[in-house]
Structure 1
Amino acid sequence: MSQHIGAPAKPVVKKGDAVCVGTLIGEAAGFVSANIHSSVSGTVSAVETFRLANGKTCDAVVIATDGKQTVDPAIQPPVVTDKASFLAAVRACGLVGLGGAGFPTDVKLQPKTPVDTLLINASECEVWLTSDTQEMLCCSDDIVRGIQAVLQYTGIPKCIIGIEKNKPECIDLLCAKTKDLSNVEVKPLPSVYGTGAELILIEKCLGREVPHGGLPADAGAIVMNVTSVSALGKYLATGMPVVERTITLDGDACAQPKNLVVPVGTAYEDIIAAVGIKDGVTLGKVVAGGAMMGPAVESLSYPTTKTTSGLILLSEAAAKPAPAQACIRCGRCIEYCPMGLAPVEVNAAYATRDVEELGKLHVDYCFNCGSCTFVCPAKRPCTQMMSLAKAYYLDQIKKGGNK
């Protein structure tokens, strides 16, 4: 019941209840929350406490599937006539940011400051991931429908779709689909890792800087992932809420790399069984998401969520970390940080728990892209250190601490 930023959804079913595809099983429990719907038909076998990968717990609804995938008879396209009914529809379908963060979309579409641009993040710069690319190639009409609805009902005057130049088929297709829409622009972006980060995307597409500690709306933009806006387009046409998503299966241990449309809640092990492991290769690690930013999963029994964009299957050889050595102060971590941060200096400030210095170094700008660890010749866990430093800094700021 926790597949999004904010309050977990509250279960509205009990053991023994029959459910269909699209049946509401978890209701948003606050303004910043999101509905959860069944992705299968069957019977609720349990409503129990579930431990998430981050160690936190939440309620979970366990469903024994009947294999029929019967659609809930109540499913029908929403009636949308104005902004209020549009936002209500977005909230009803349980749409969240499908690019990873999982922020409820209906909340995002109600900014407190004026916005002049809807920015569609179709960059997909993460290593191995191609699920957004697949969505663009197969569901371009849904993407355009979702964009037009957002512009029409929120009053945002224009939209820019940012796509990295290494996806020419996607650029050509969406240019063709939007050629008659004067308020929609497809913008090719440099094929550089990190371009998909919100702050960088806004700077590349609009030439604007989000104020320190601010939101994209403070720079006049709302950013939506391309798969999110596609899901919205599908919901407006069919009434089917977010119950499935396209995820990438890849990695050096993957026997059949491909993109699969997967019901939300499917166990990792069942998805991996669909693509298999290469003969003679031992699976060493599974990363949920992209290889650079995704966390290694503790158990293959974990379920996919709305924000699961991929599963990267790594062999034992690829998963084995290189031994870390002493920092040689070469400065590569600084040179390659897309946010212009200085991990080596952050490390020194964090070692002494210097909150003031961490603030001066803008550690809160780190979005854990992994570049610093990747380029470090000493193989130091720079990204993990940055994560710890950022968490410590934000916690101290919340408490009102200093040094």
Structure 2
Amino acid sequence: MAVSTFKRGLLLPTRKHATEGTPVELAPLPKQVVIPINQHFGAPNKCLVNVGDHVRRGQKIADAAAPGPMTVPVHASISGVVKKIEPRTQSNNTEGICVTIEADPDAAGGEEFLPPLDPFTCTKEEALARIREAGITGMGGAAFPCHVKLNPPPNKPIDFIIADGAECEPYLTTDEAVLTEKPNMLILGLTIVMKITGVKKAIIGMEDNKEKLIPMIEREIRLNEQAASVGEISIGLCKTRYPQGGEKLLITALTGREVPSGGLPMDAGCIVQNVGTLVAIAEAFTLGKPLVDRDLTVSGGACKMPKNIRAPIGTLLTDLPPVFMEVDYDKLKKILFGGPMMGNAVPNLNIPIQKNTSGIILLTAAETVAELEGPCIRCGRCIRNCSARLSPVIMNMALEAGDLDEAVAAGLMDCIECGSCTFMCPARIKLVQRFRIGKQRLRIRQQAQQAAQAAKAAAAQPAPAKT
């Protein structure tokens, strides 16, 4: 099979050996979960429960006041009693309202799932509504509402559905576990997406370090009764190169197309879904199961028992028993939610697992860098290794000068925040962190401009006539 790739990027040590090829272990029921009510990219939710309420696993506990296209509900991941509703620090290092549910042993096993729904006989509207009601967001990291991605505008024709199983981040191995343990559910989820969108071609993209899985996946494609009727499903093998799992780069590698500047995958005729998301879609129809559990990798030198685990959303790692998950606190120097390249460093382990938590990496001093920034020496390494073909040094200079417009002109909003520039910078400049802050500043400015325009428009309205 031909191996595709993209230009630039990095050849990184994968550091997957500790959990590669190991099965996903079901975490013991935690004594409590702390569930953020907003875990998606879009309009905010409001809480639907109160302190003292008894809730069942799968019960909706948060949703938007007026459910719209960019809203996704949140569900209880265990059965128990609501003990607190309060702001807590989340994995993005911001505070948000969280619902703390204390497990009730007497209610163990009680579930409030949706009724099963046949995805191949229901209407498109019913299928999209099911995906929304199940609270499914992209599980690869961005947490974009899945039902929105699967319903592109009529003027954006889609030619390819791409299942993203590249998993290019070091340490992380849960996508590989999905491909190994749940290929039947993956193919089912993929056929459901093809049925909803009407797209006739799908590609399962993976890096060539997973080549041994191809015969098993091809067998599942042949065994799936719906696969032949909905279209053609193939496997696309990509070179093991960071950040191959980025959707824009995966599109280029597998189709030869390029997402235009400022555009989305649908502008290149593609929809990309993480393999874990596709399994969640299949479970939402066959089991009626909302997105209440998460597979993730827990690894790093300070983790005494690295493993892939399945835990209820809202679980705190500190609530898992030491016989299942033990941390070497003497060696622990840095905690990352997500991979080491794109993940967020958090202050402690009292941070809940969310829908988009692909891993928790516990790093030792030898595994992380804590050096002071030096001056930029204009070496150009950030440019040579930028997979988005941008000029990070120019973007950084513009942001240092406070010139947001120049930073945007240099490609700020096209940055995929992969961290390649930071990794290669000999001056240890935290480029990605600056670009994230720059994007936040730009959004704040845009919101202020929109508010000013709305106020101006309101002031221009004639006053109501007096009677």
Q: Give the TM-score category using the shorter length.
A: over 0.9
Decide whether aligned partners of structure 1 residues 235 and 386 sit closer, same or farther in structure 2, where only a CA change above 3 A counts. Answer: same
User: 2:98 matched to 1:60?
Assistant: yes
Aligned to 2:110: 71
- Among 10, 29, 41, the alignment partner of 2:79 is 41
In 2, the alpha carbon distance for the partners of 1:75 and 1:185 equals: 32
- Kindly tell me: are residues 203 and 395 of structure 1, through their superposed partners in 2, closer, same or farther at Cα, counting changes over 3 Å? farther
Equivalence for 2:140:
99
Greater Rg over alpha carbons, structure: 2
Structure 1: gaps (5+ residues): none
1:277 to 303, 327, 337: 327
Indicate if the aligned counterparts of 2:72 and 2:132 stay in contact, CA closer than 8 A: yes
Deviation at 1:178, TM superposition (A): 1.7
For 1:271 and 1:201, how far apart are their aligned partners in 2? 36
Verify the 8 A CA contact 1:163 1:171 in the aligned structure 2: no
Ranked by relative contact order (alpha carbons within 8 Å, sequence separation 6 or more), the top structure is: 2
Q: Does 1:185 align with 2:234?
A: yes
The Cα RMSD (Å) is 2.2
Aligned 1:154-169 pairs, distance under 5 A: 154-169=197-212
Residue deviations 1:134-174 (CA, integer Å, cap 9, x gap): 11111111111111111113212221111111112333322
Classify the secondary structure of the residue corresponding to 1:296.
Answer: strand
Note the C-alpha offset of 1:296: 0.8
Taking the aligned partners of 1:270 and 1:134, their CA distance within structure 2 comes to 24
Aligned to 1:9: 45
Deviation at 1:55, TM superposition (A): 5.6
TM-score by length of 2: 0.80
CA contact (8 A) 1:334 1:343 kept: yes
* TM-superposition CA deviations, 1:202-237 (whole Å, max 9, x none): 111111122221111111111111100011112211
2:306 equivalent to 1:257: yes
Contact (CA 8 Å) 1:53, 1:297: kept in 2 or not?
yes
Distance 1:297 1:172 in 2: 40
Aligned pairs for 1:20-35 (under 5 A) are 20-29=56-65, 30-31=67-68, 32-35=70-73
Offset of residue 271 of structure 1: 4.6
Aligned to 1:19: 55
SS in 2 for 1:283: coil
Is the contact between residue 22 and residue 71 of structure 1 (CA under 8 Å) also seen in structure 2? no
Aligned residues: 400
Q: Is the 8 A contact 1:161 1:184 kept in 2?
A: yes
Structure 1 residues 115 and 94: CA distance shift in structure 2, 3 A: same
Whole-angstrom distance in 2 between the partners of 1:56 and 1:315: 25
Amino acid at match of 1:231: A
Corresponding letter in the other structure for 1:12: L
Secondary structure at 1:101's aligned position in 2? Answer: coil
For 1:276, what is the secondary structure of its paired residue?
Answer: coil
Q: Percent identity?
A: 36
Within the candidate set 348, 358, 378, 1:299 is matched to 348
DSSP-derived class of the 1:44 partner: strand
Alignment partner of 1:203: what SS? Answer: helix
Q: TM-score, normalised by structure 1?
A: 0.93
Whichever residue aligns with residue 307 of structure 1, its letter is N
Tell me the equivalent position of 1:359.
Answer: 408
Give distance in 1, aligned partners of 2:366 and 2:88: 32
Distance apart, 1:57 and its partner CA: 4.1
The amino acid across from 2:199 in the alignment is I
| 1:376 paired to 2:425 | yes
Does residue 109 in structure 1 map to residue 150 in structure 2? yes
Of 98, 117, 131, the residue aligned with 1:90 is 131
- The partner residue of 1:350 within 390, 396, 399 is 399
Residue in structure 2 matching 1:247, options 277, 288, 296: 296
Instruction: Give 2:337's aligned residue.
Output: 288
Distance 1:53 1:98 in 2: 14
Q: Take 1:236 and 1:205, find their aligned partners in 2: how far apart are those partners?
A: 29
